[in-house]
Chains A and B, each alone.
Chain A
Amino acid sequence: MDFILQPWPWYVAGPLIALVLFLMFYFGKKFGVSTTLETFCTLSGANKLSNYFKNDLKTQKWRLFFAAGIFLGGVIAANFLTPNQSVNLNPDTVLEMASLGFADGGKTFLPKEIFSLEALLSVKGFLILIGAGFLIGFGSRYAGGCTSGHSITGLSSLQMPSLIATIGFFVGGLIMTWFLIPLIF
């Protein structure tokens, strides 16, 4: 039992993600999460505004169940499986966080400087949250997939577009982490 409550190492998580991918394909679906964002658009009536969102919801319903499952998995893990939310970070990372003004680097999963009600209620904090989300949604649909669809499904099936997308993920991520985050915080 204790093993489950501890953080899971990479060599447990990686194979389990491959298992999820396997079962998705076995069930006749595919492993891709960002398309779900489009399904939400269609659900909200975006199909009335643009043909892009004219999808048959019946064939997309499974995505909503899968996303609801991920949410429930998060709720279960947060409430029952994570007695200690500290993250065993590289000490260098913790020091860097402190110099950027993040007080409790790695004491919880999420920095309160971004993920707290206080941050959310400030103009800057709100813009960070909604802006980051916008980039994720816009970028993943533009690229035609996110980490699950491109970096895992696409790379493992040796698709060149997915390699290019994954390089793009890193170009964007490195620019944000090395140059923009120090400016924003």
Chain B
Amino acid sequence: MKNIKLLILGILFGIVLSKAEIISWYRIYEMFKFQSFHMYGIIGSAVVISFFLMQLFKKGIIKDEAGNKIKIQEKEKDFKRTFFGGTIFGLGWALSGACAAPLFALLGYSFLPAFIVLIGAILGAFVFGLVSKKLLN
């Protein structure tokens, strides 16, 4: 039952990504060319609203459904890792016009080509896993 809730939440997220054209290659190109406010408005407003939610989580005003305090995991402080990893990700984001979540929604629009991108992404995650020990030391 718990997983069904996440399936439904995923459906909502997939529809939002599609209907707001976040999955459109052109929208990502336009964003990186600073030719439209659209994507900045989406990410910016999501961050601002989430900032207030995070405050409510931290203060324990909003708890999770089981009544536990919601904790936000601290991201690892490693400049090299986040910066270079981020840059590599950005190259792929701009070339494919999709970040991780849109990859799944795109399958509904352009099945085979999007499937190849997804396979590439899984391969990329796999290769990272294999070399992670060397890269992170």
Query: Which residues on A are within 8 Å of B, measured CB to CB?
Result: 4, 7-18, 20-30, 33-34, 36-38, 40-41, 44, 46, 49-50, 52-53, 61-62, 65-79, 81-82, 87, 89-90, 92-93, 96-97, 105-106, 109-111, 114-117, 119-120, 126, 128-162, 164-178, 180-181, 184
Contact = CB atoms under 8 A, between A and B. Distances in A.
A25 B63 CA distance: 9
Looking at chain B's contact residues, the main secondary structure is: helix
Contacts of B15: 73-74, 76-77, 81
Given A28-B66, A169-B89, A178-B32, A68 B10 contact: yes
B86 A34 contact: no
B129 A50 contact: yes
A71 B14 contact: yes
7 contacts: A7-B20, A74-B109, A76-B15, A130-B117, A133-B119, A134-B124, A138-B128
Given A14-B43, A46-B129, A139-B91, A77 B65 contact: no
Counting from the closest, the 7 A-B pairs by CB-CB distance are A69-B10, A73-B14, A168-B86, A133-B120, A172-B90, A137-B124, A135-B92
A164 B76 CA distance: 11
Interface of B: 2-33, 35-51, 53-54, 57, 62, 64-66, 68, 70, 72-79, 81-101, 103-110, 112-114, 116-130, 132-133, 135
B16 to A, nearest CB: 5
Contacts of B104: 33, 67-68, 70-71, 74
Contact of A164 (B86, B122, B125): B86
A73 to B, nearest CB: 2
Contacts of B22: 13
A52 B130 CA distance: 7
B18 to A, nearest CB: 3
Contacts of A18: 45-46, 49-50, 53
B75 A154 contact: yes
B36 A136 contact: no
A136 B6 contact: no
Contacts of B9: 20, 23-24, 27, 66, 69
Contacts of A21: 46, 50, 53
Given A73-B17, A136-B89, A145-B75, A34 B8 contact: no
Contact of B18 (A78, A139, A140, A172): A78
Given A15-B45, A111-B26, A76 B108 contact: yes
